[in-house]
Amino acid sequence: MSHSHHEGHPGFSPAQTLHDGCAECTFRSENVWVAISHLDPVAFVKAWARAAAYERGELADVSKAEVPLLRALWAVQVQLEPRGFAIGAVPCVPWMETVA
């Protein structure tokens, strides 16, 4: 399975973590642990921020493929918040928050 060029897919947005119409992104969507493990440090921070924005209803460009990933990352954020980590802020990586 290989990644296709995302730009030609319907609903494409460069901000999306996973893209509709791509077989690899669909596989990762169906296997969230694979999606998370393939995120590089910058993509992880962006996905983490998108998860918070998605749950707040602030994303107009969310793809169906990325919804399971965003929900999984949100669930972790909800568990970390009562432990002192702000929603949307990546724990222990304050210098990367500006990337998102």
The pLDDT score that the predictor gives to residue 93 is: 56
Q: What percent of the chain has pLDDT over 70?
A: 81
Q: Is the pLDDT of residue 1 over 50?
A: no
- Is residue 54 in a domain? yes
Q: How far is CA 63 from CA 15, 47, 82, in A?
A: 10, 12, 29
pLDDT band at 8 (very low <50, low <70, confident <90, very high): low
Rounded to two decimals, the pTM is: 0.82
- Is residue 88 in a domain? yes
State mean pLDDT over 80-86. Answer: 91
DSSP state of 81: G
CB within 8 A of 93, min separation 6: which ones? 41, 45
- Is residue 7 in a domain? no
Domain range enclosing 22 = 15-99
What is the tens place of the pLDDT at every residue in 12-58? 788 999 989 888 999 999 999 999 999 998 999 999 999 999 999 99
- Is residue 40 in a domain? yes
For residue 96, give the amino acid letter.
Answer: M
What total of structural domains would you count in the chain? 1
d(CA 26, CA 13): 16
- Is residue 8 in a domain? no
Residue 49's closest CA among 83, 93, 12, 82? 93
